[in-house]
Structure 1
Amino acid sequence: MSIQIFGLPVSRGVAIGRAVLVASSRVDVAHYFIDASQVEAEVARLRRARDEVAAELIALKQEVPEEAHAELVALLDVHLMLLHDEMLTDATKQWISERHYNAEWAMSAQLEVLARQFDEMEDDYLRERKADLEQVVERMLKAMSRSAREDDDAPAGSLGTRDFGGEDPLVLVANDIAPADMIQFKRSVFTGFVTDVGGRTSHTAIVARSMDIPAVVGTREGSRLVRQDDWVIIDGDEGVLIVDPSPIVLEEYRFRQRQGELERARLDRLRHKPSVTLDGVNIELLANIELPADAPAAIAAGAVGVGLFRSEFLFMNRGGHLPDEEEQYRAYRAVVEAMNGLPVTIRTIDIGADKPLDRMSAHSTEHQTNPALGLRAIRWSLAEPEMFGAQLRAILRASAHGKVRLLIPMVAHPQEAQRVREALAIACQQLDAQGQPYSQVELGAMIEVPAAALILPSLLRHFDFVSIGTNDLIQYTLAIDRADEAVSHLFDPWHPAVLQLIASTIAQARAHGKAVSVCGEMAGDPAFTELLLAMGLTSFSMHPAQIASIKQRILRADVRSLQTRLPQVLEHEAPQEACAQWLVMSTAR
């Protein structure tokens, strides 16, 4: 029977395919595809983990004291029986051999299938055995995690190399997707994402838009209502997930899918056209990227530089082992060289809140009551001077290979700016002493905290440019956790206070002769293009996939005409409504 599940539309378009469920687990589970040549080795990892857990359970049975209740021994026998049950082990091997999942993912996928079967059992005793199954699988996952850390030759799967040939398209369904997993999935075969939690600017939503694939978040029960391999439709325009669609509905959405492909092909023809408004204003369109491998896509999309390289993704999904200076230098140099002389803005590590490290040192966010307001971004860097110094030296060394700008996240105090300048001077002295070449880099501040926008003239004395991070600026201005679906409806980029802070920041930066850009989600949202142009913005930084649609709006815009309407929009209590009326009037002319 077909059902519809409603959530938040966060990335437009239609995706049709079979559901791949990523089950929640108390154990961190790596999710990646393996090559066909790695299947036997991955099955061997699974077998070794099963044997290790079996040995643990047998040892536990032998250690049970005689006075202990007989049910304890019986329980261990149940766990041993489940461990060797073919419904668990053989089916898990099938996920590995047929879908090319890594062993941990295959195990958690099969747990999801079996758990649902237990839930549907009428017998209370059998239904309660699901907890035993979960405990056995958790032991298996922990054993595989230990072996992966101990074995440097363990399969290192790659989502980008999987060849599905004529197999069905796949969509990913999960309770939530960690930022590190989203990076793994970024060049995968998935044609869409669905999550139970999240908001319009959650990391899942941002990455889905960067990949230009449909996504719906905040479905609440989506991952519980969908089964492995169900046919599903993701309607990224309306925020709807359709499970087991009828033939008529399927054909309608396939038609919409083809229309979307034609529109993308039409926009693609604009990629090499100069970004100039009707009245001759040159607009700089830059790319936001997360990994060195993203640079070619930025150039292909027509970006004239990188406005935001999120360096924290070099630090994630590494089991707590941070990259050293040399590894970072190679990554930054790869981006700079790939951009062929175009400018690259590298943001220092922005860790915390929705982007925690696996293990974050003595200043771990795990024990913070509110990570979004805790030790994150530049606060964390300044609290880890050795790590921060290594990153600064790596970025400076990369500047010898092209134009590099340095961006500091979440600046709120002039004292932070002073400490950053001091750390940068020390890094330069250290490189001089080592004879390492580097160039002078411009230093910029991300304006993400209302306090920074309100004291901008004081900050501009310390910085060469500013970049407005609208996602966090909205979050902190409105006191809304942007990843919490319970309050995501209150996350409003059209709020008058938000727009006034952005307009003020752009105006003050221009008045002081400092470059200013917007690198948050608003920069890549066509609904805000004309408004940002009216505010005087001439530098937009966004995901490469969004550049063509923004360029189309710029090519049709007249900045002088737009600026005459700006005051009435900023003063209106419903700016979105006022802006819509203003654009309709402009089009009518």
Structure 2
Amino acid sequence: MSIQVFGLPVSRGVAIGRAVLVASSRVDVAHYFVDASEVESEVLRLRDARDEVAAELTTLKAEVSEESHAELAALLDVHLMMLHDEMLAEATKQWIIERHYNAEWAMSAQLEVLARQFDEMEDDYLRERKADLEQVAERILKALARVADPLASSGVHGVPRDFAGEDPLILVANDIAPADMLQFKRSVFTGFVTDVGGRTSHTAIVARSMDIPAVVGAREASRIVRQDDWLVIDGDAGVLIVNPSPIILEEYRFRQRQSEVERARLNRLRHTPSVTLDGQSVELLANIEMPRDAGAVIDAGAVGVGLFRSEFLFMNRGGNLPDEDEQFIAYREVVEALKGLPVTIRTVDIGADKPLERMSAHELRHEHTLNPALGLRAIRWSLSEPEMFGQQLRAILRASAFGKVRILIPMVAHLSEVHRVRQALDRAQAELRARGVPFTDVELGAMIEVPAAALMLPSLLRYFDFVSIGTNDLIQYTLAIDRADEAVSHLYDPWHPAVLHLIAQTISQANALGKGVCVCGEMAGDPAFTELLLAMGLRSLSMHPAQVSSIKQRVLRCDARALSSYLPTVLEADAPQDACAALMRQR
């Protein structure tokens, strides 16, 4: 039977494929693919873990007096029987062989399949054996954590080049952590669905950067969907269709083909200069997470990197953070790949939804139990770690010897922070001079992400060369909305008059003072805002590479001077979105 699940549309388009469930577990489970050459060793890991659990259970049973604890002995027998049952042991092995899942993922996937079968049993006694199954599976998962994993120790969590699956795959999960999204970024998945999240949650942002359809905030999707179900993601409407009928499936396949034609048409604009009808040049830059993304910037026709999110170099490393040399190599790789085009590197923006494994227990406790968005994050965290901050600044400065580099400071709110950043930069420059290491002068910029920074912009611009408006967080802090919480995500509104006034004011003041200003949040890559941002006087936007062509198309069709005359009407309206749409229809 076909089922529709409604969520939030966060990345447009249509995806059709088979479901791959990332099941929730009381034990943390790593999810990654293994190469064909590693399948045999991964099966061996699973077998060794199972043998270890069998030995534990056998030892426990031997220590139990059957006369005094007959029920406990019988329970251990049940666990041993389940441990060797083909429905658990052999079926888990098949997930590794056929899907190339790592052993932990394979075990959690098969546990999900069997748990649902137990839930559907009519006999109460048999249905209650689900708890025993979960206990056995979690024993195996814990044993796997103790069994050496060469992939985990080497950090190679990729996608097999020779993955044999013929059907496209769609990932379904309760939520996907930023570190997992980083692993899946180069994966075989054609779409994502999560139970939780908002339009600017990290899952949504990465899905857009991958240019694949995604639906978040779909509530019970991970419970409704079964492994290998056929799914359709309607990224435009925010709908997930489970096991669609043949007619529905054909309709969406037709829409897929139309999207491919439209994408090919937009790609022809890659090398067309981004100039409005009235001759004003608009700088279209790209946002990236890792050095390997640099090629996509060039392919998209962007004229530089407006936001290099350096924190992704620090994530998914088990606490072994990159030192100065490793960071320098990564930054230099991007700078050299851009061949003279500008690269803006944002210093580490961790905390909130992107904690690091090395954060102290105190920091992690507060990040997860208090309000992480208002805690020790971004520049606050960097200033609390002066040694690490100094390493990053030196690495960025060293990369500046190979091209045009700019430094961007996230979440600036206090002048005291600005003075400490300036002092740290001066120290980094002095240390490099003392070592005889070449570097060039770099421009220093501030992220405008909190209302305080927008309201005190003239004071900030005495110390910064440019500003970049991070609309995702600016909206969150202006409206007091956790942008990753689906319970309040309907209140996250980039069209809110207060948000638009802050953005317009920031752009106007920066232009008046002759300082560069760019928008690098999600609004930059949303065609619905292109005309409005141009009307505000913005001439630099940074977005995911996949969005450059569609924004360029809007720019080429705009008369920026004519648009500016509409701005007061939009900003004064109670419903700016409706006012903007009405004015666009009049053009």
Instruction: Classify 1:223/1:338 alpha carbon distance in 2 versus 1 (closer, same or farther; 3 Å).
Output: same
- Residue identity in the other structure for 1:34: V
1:462 aligned onto 2:481: no
* SS of corresponding position for 2:87: helix
Q: C-alpha separation between the residues in 1 aligned to 2:486 and 2:211?
A: 22
- Residue identity in the other structure for 1:405: R
> How many angstroms does 1:435 deviate by?
2.1
- Residue identity in the other structure for 1:276: V
Q: Which residue of 1 aligns with 2:175?
A: 176
CA contact (8 A) 2:157 2:183 kept: no
Q: C-alpha separation between the residues in 2 aligned to 1:154 and 1:398?
A: 26
Q: C-alpha separation between the residues in 2 aligned to 1:442 and 1:65?
A: 75
- Residue identity in the other structure for 2:322: P
Instruction: Classify 1:38/1:155 alpha carbon distance in 2 versus 1 (closer, same or farther; 3 Å).
Output: farther
Q: Which residue of 2 aligns with 1:507?
A: 508
Instruction: Classify 1:64/1:322 alpha carbon distance in 2 versus 1 (closer, same or farther; 3 Å).
Output: farther
Q: C-alpha separation between the residues in 2 aligned to 1:310 and 1:457?
A: 26
> How many angstroms does 1:464 deviate by?
1.0
Q: Which residue of 2 aligns with 1:41?
A: 41
Q: Which residue of 1 aligns with 2:449?
A: 448
* SS of corresponding position for 1:295: helix
CA contact (8 A) 1:38 1:155 kept: no
CA contact (8 A) 2:566 2:583 kept: yes
CA contact (8 A) 1:41 1:155 kept: no
1:200 aligned onto 2:189: no
Alignment of 1:149-228 (within 5 A): 156-159=156-159, 161-164=161-164, 167-228=166-227
Q: C-alpha separation between the residues in 2 aligned to 1:420 and 1:457?
A: 18
Q: Which residue of 2 aligns with 1:113?
A: 113
- Residue identity in the other structure for 1:100: H
Q: C-alpha separation between the residues in 2 aligned to 1:68 and 1:491?
A: 61
- Residue identity in the other structure for 2:225: V
CA contact (8 A) 1:102 1:157 kept: no
Give the 4+ runs in structure 1 shifted more than 6 A.
65-68, 149-155
> How many angstroms does 1:67 deviate by?
10
Q: Which residue of 2 aligns with 1:524?
A: 525
Q: C-alpha separation between the residues in 2 aligned to 1:56 and 1:325?
A: 45
Deviations 1:318-359 (A, max 9, x none): 122212222111111111111111111111111111112234
- Residue identity in the other structure for 1:135: Q
* SS of corresponding position for 1:86: coil
* SS of corresponding position for 1:159: coil
> How many angstroms does 1:367 deviate by?
2.9
Q: Which residue of 2 aligns with 1:354?
A: 353
> How many angstroms does 1:149 deviate by?
6.3
Alignment of 1:418-433 (within 5 A): 418-433=419-434
Q: C-alpha separation between the residues in 2 aligned to 1:558 and 1:358?
A: 49
Instruction: Classify 1:492/1:153 alpha carbon distance in 2 versus 1 (closer, same or farther; 3 Å).
Output: closer
Q: Which residue of 2 aligns with 1:53?
A: 53
Alignment of 1:467-482 (within 5 A): 467-482=468-483
> How many angstroms does 1:133 deviate by?
2.0
Q: Which residue of 2 aligns with 1:543?
A: 544
* SS of corresponding position for 2:219: coil
> How many angstroms does 1:28 deviate by?
2.4
> How many angstroms does 1:275 deviate by?
0.2
Alignment of 1:314-333 (within 5 A): 314-333=313-332
> How many angstroms does 1:54 deviate by?
2.5
1:486 aligned onto 2:487: yes
Deviations 1:115-137 (A, max 9, x none): 11111112223222222222222
> How many angstroms does 1:454 deviate by?
0.6
- Residue identity in the other structure for 2:54: A
* SS of corresponding position for 1:419: helix
> How many angstroms does 1:554 deviate by?
0.1
Q: C-alpha separation between the residues in 2 aligned to 1:94 and 1:19?
A: 16
CA contact (8 A) 2:100 2:163 kept: no
Alignment of 1:90-489 (within 5 A): 90-148=90-148, 156-159=156-159, 161-164=161-164, 167-361=166-360, 363-368=362-367, 369-489=370-490
Q: C-alpha separation between the residues in 2 aligned to 1:155 and 1:99?
A: 20
Q: C-alpha separation between the residues in 2 aligned to 1:220 and 1:477?
A: 26
> How many angstroms does 1:525 deviate by?
0.1
CA contact (8 A) 2:324 2:395 kept: yes
Q: C-alpha separation between the residues in 1 aligned to 2:225 and 2:282?
A: 45
Q: C-alpha separation between the residues in 2 aligned to 1:119 and 1:300?
A: 50
> How many angstroms does 1:62 deviate by?
4.9
Instruction: Classify 1:501/1:468 alpha carbon distance in 2 versus 1 (closer, same or farther; 3 Å).
Output: same
- Residue identity in the other structure for 1:384: E
> How many angstroms does 1:388 deviate by?
1.2
> How many angstroms does 1:68 deviate by?
7.4
Q: C-alpha separation between the residues in 2 aligned to 1:67 and 1:388?
A: 64
Alignment of 1:65-84 (within 5 A): 69-84=69-84
Instruction: Classify 1:428/1:246 alpha carbon distance in 2 versus 1 (closer, same or farther; 3 Å).
Output: same
Deviations 1:507-538 (A, max 9, x none): 11111111010000000000000000000101
> How many angstroms does 1:152 deviate by?
7.2
Deviations 1:367-397 (A, max 9, x none): 3311111111111111111111111111111
> How many angstroms does 1:154 deviate by?
6.8
> How many angstroms does 1:474 deviate by?
0.3
Q: C-alpha separation between the residues in 2 aligned to 1:148 and 1:216?
A: 36
Q: C-alpha separation between the residues in 1 aligned to 2:155 and 2:295?
A: 27
> How many angstroms does 1:288 deviate by?
0.3
Instruction: Classify 1:431/1:515 alpha carbon distance in 2 versus 1 (closer, same or farther; 3 Å).
Output: same
Instruction: Give the TM-score of the pair, scaled to structure 1.
Output: 0.96
Q: C-alpha separation between the residues in 2 aligned to 1:138 and 1:237?
A: 39
Instruction: Classify 1:61/1:384 alpha carbon distance in 2 versus 1 (closer, same or farther; 3 Å).
Output: farther
Q: C-alpha separation between the residues in 1 aligned to 2:444 and 2:219?
A: 42
Consecutive unaligned residues in structure 2, runs of 5 or more? none
CA contact (8 A) 2:194 2:217 kept: yes
> How many angstroms does 1:44 deviate by?
1.1
Q: C-alpha separation between the residues in 2 aligned to 1:151 and 1:109?
A: 19
Aligned residues: 585
> How many angstroms does 1:140 deviate by?
2.1
* SS of corresponding position for 1:273: coil
> How many angstroms does 1:160 deviate by?
6.4
* SS of corresponding position for 1:445: strand
CA contact (8 A) 1:405 1:441 kept: yes
- Residue identity in the other structure for 1:249: I
Instruction: Classify 1:16/1:449 alpha carbon distance in 2 versus 1 (closer, same or farther; 3 Å).
Output: same
Deviations 1:526-577 (A, max 9, x none): 0000000000101100000000000000000001000001011001110000
Q: C-alpha separation between the residues in 2 aligned to 1:538 and 1:264?
A: 25
* SS of corresponding position for 1:541: strand
Instruction: Classify 1:229/1:552 alpha carbon distance in 2 versus 1 (closer, same or farther; 3 Å).
Output: same
> How many angstroms does 1:437 deviate by?
1.8
Q: C-alpha separation between the residues in 2 aligned to 1:155 and 1:78?
A: 37
> How many angstroms does 1:227 deviate by?
0.6
> How many angstroms does 1:362 deviate by?
5.2
Instruction: Classify 1:45/1:139 alpha carbon distance in 2 versus 1 (closer, same or farther; 3 Å).
Output: same
- Residue identity in the other structure for 1:503: A
- Residue identity in the other structure for 1:506: I
- Residue identity in the other structure for 2:423: E
Instruction: Classify 1:244/1:509 alpha carbon distance in 2 versus 1 (closer, same or farther; 3 Å).
Output: same
1:11 aligned onto 2:11: yes
* SS of corresponding position for 2:19: strand
> How many angstroms does 1:74 deviate by?
3.5
Q: C-alpha separation between the residues in 2 aligned to 1:448 and 1:120?
A: 49
Deviations 1:433-485 (A, max 9, x none): 22222222111110001111011111111111110000000000000011111
Q: Which residue of 1 aligns with 2:569?
A: 568
